[in-house]
Amino acid sequence: MASLVQYLPEGEGWLPRWQLFVASLAMANSVQNLFTVSITKRLYTNKPEEVTALQARMSTMWNFTSAIVRLHCAYNIHNKAIYNTTLWTYAIAFFHFSTELLFFRTAKLNGPVISPVIVSSVSLLWMLSQYDFYVQ
């Protein structure tokens, strides 16, 4: 176990490790979505017929892209451009799930949807509150 610690982000505080954790989950979700639409359909339960294999793969690419940005942020937390880009990944995710819930009504407030809403909003607020600490 001690040998794995050397691969953790070296930044101060918990935010760099949180970025690594969230990036890892997004990568795992991306791999799952490449092989099945059932996971994506769990998000959009009000209109599962609108979830297609193409839409699931596009969602996979977004997930994977945001995971790469967040992973990069975990290891380069003091880089202003990377930090700002990572902030935007959470803002976009929050906007997407909020509009699907409240405007398009393709999703309902359940476990599969509440999770990305919580992760994106908490991460966004956490990053904004710690901006001056990490970005120099």
* DSSP character string of 91-111: HHHHHHHHHHHHTS----SSH
Using CA atoms of 4, 8, 14, 18 in order, give the dihedral in degrees to the nearest 10: -100
Q: What is the pLDDT of residues 103-133, one digit of tens each?
A: 999 999 988 899 999 999 999 999 999 999 9
SS3 8: coil
Handedness of CA 69, 72, 73, 74 (dihedral sign): positive
Q: What is the pLDDT of residues 60-84, one digit of tens each?
A: 999 999 999 999 999 999 999 999 9
Non-local (6+) Cβ contacts of 106 within 8 A are: 44, 46, 47, 50, 100
What's the pLDDT band for 2 if we cut at 50, 70, 90? low
